[in-house]
Structure 1
Amino acid sequence: MTQELIIDIATAKRSAETAEIMRRYNNVFQRHDPSALDELVADDCVIENTTPAPDGARRAGKSACVELWSAIATAPGTRFDIEETFVAGDRATIRWRFWMSDGNSLRGVNLMRVQEGQIIEAMGYVKG
């Protein structure tokens, strides 16, 4: 095998693994069930949240990340519409629309990074 083919196979395998982790992550919010987060989130995970503007709050460590995502996933009367998930290697981009309990919505994107089968980084951005 050529070096390029070996790299392409490794990247495709990494992309498939990342896609599966993102599928499971998105299901947390679709099903309003955060029980999978403990397995999906790395001990050294870092989140840069969408609020407060302009930079968002930073959460570091598994417990802080799981706590934030659990609260979002279980917020009464809310829902996420996943518009697209794009994966390349250990990175993913998730485009979404979040519907708040008052019927208003906002659109945004999460830039995600996975390492050794767990989410290690998530940066959220919303349209202003």
Structure 2
Amino acid sequence: MVVRCERPALADDEIDRIFRALADATRRDIVRRTLTEEASVSELAAAYDMSFAAVQKHVAVLEGAGLVTKEPQGRERRVRGNPDTLRQAQQLLDQYEQIWSGRVARLDALLTDE
């Protein structure tokens, strides 16, 4: 059984941005928090032992990767997680898992035949 890997819906540079953004624990936490409830950058910054500017930079990286969106609401910018981008990344990881499972199954079949 040969598993074919479909071309991902995301371009290589988009995939790189997503996984680079998710490589940082603070950014993963921001995504997690904003998927359940939107928050202002000030509200997000209150939870971390770093400057407002540092949190703002983390949010900018996440926004550049499409993992969050910022929308103006009065004088604030509300940050909201983007589950669609996470779904696309999950689909890519699922494809890799299928490839790996197929290889393991072929190896198992070879070992069983002998």
TM-score range, shorter chain: under 0.3
TM-score (norm 2): 0.25
TM-score (norm 1): 0.23
Bigger proportion of residues as helix = 2
* More contact order relative to length (CA 8 Å, sep ≥ 6): 2
